[in-house]
Amino acid sequence: MTHHTSRHIISLLMENEAGALSRVAGLFSARGYNIESLTVAVTEDPTLSRMTIVTSGSEAVIEQIIKQLNKLIDVVKVLDLNDGKFIERELMLVKVKATGVFREEMKRMCDIFRGRIIDVADGSFTIELTGSGNKLDAFIESLDKAAILETVRTGASGIGRGDRILKV
């Protein structure tokens, strides 16, 4: 077993029932697994929720996480997106200072990263940005720290490429 740790994105479908989310969250804390982010919402089938969990661990730990998730009675299907090709997206809202020189600078940075300004106030802009976690990190890094007033990120959502489909 390799002890090398890597980042994995796990997608799962579960019964859209009260308590299902806490079963998953509880499993991670009870067994000491990492959660980088966790997002969940109902799917086109209202009886199912889809969750994306970003975690990290050795191959053995990831294998255990998948098995333990499958063991939960409310979990219908589990897929480790890292087993194949996939796309990852995350949404971030950033409120930045937009006064004086910052006002033009922020507009330019937003364009470079293909973000959108969705709220304009006298002293601030709110920028909406979508992309992989890395891209969002890069945007934050490239801003002057003093200009950042507030950030909020949704955590990653993932989906397999092409024919890789997670469905009941």
According to CB under 8 A, which one of 121, 146, 165, 168 is a site residue for another protein?
168
Q: How many CB atoms lie within 10 A of CB 132?
A: 14
Comparing CB distances to another protein, the nearer of 73 and 146 is 73
- Beta strand 37-42 with 75-80 is unpaired
Q: Is 58 in the site for another protein (CB under 8 A)?
A: no
What gap in Å lies between CA 130 and CA 149, rounded to an integer? 19
Q: Is 83 in the site for another protein (CB under 8 A)?
A: no
Comparing CB distances to another protein, the nearer of 31 and 161 is 31
Closest CA to 57 of 29, 26, 32: 32
Q: Is 60 in the site for another protein (CB under 8 A)?
A: yes
Where does this chain touch another protein (CB under 8 A) — which range of 69-77, 95-103, 141-149, 153-161? 69-77
Closest approach of another protein to the CB of residue 2, in Å: 10
What gap in Å lies between CA 16 and CA 46, rounded to an integer? 7
Element at 12 (helix H, strand E): strand 6-15
Give the SS3 label for residue 115: coil
Closest approach of another protein to the CB of residue 106, in Å: 44
Q: Which residues bind another protein (CB under 8 A)?
A: 1, 14-15, 18-19, 22-23, 26, 30, 60, 63-64, 67-68, 70-71, 73-76, 168
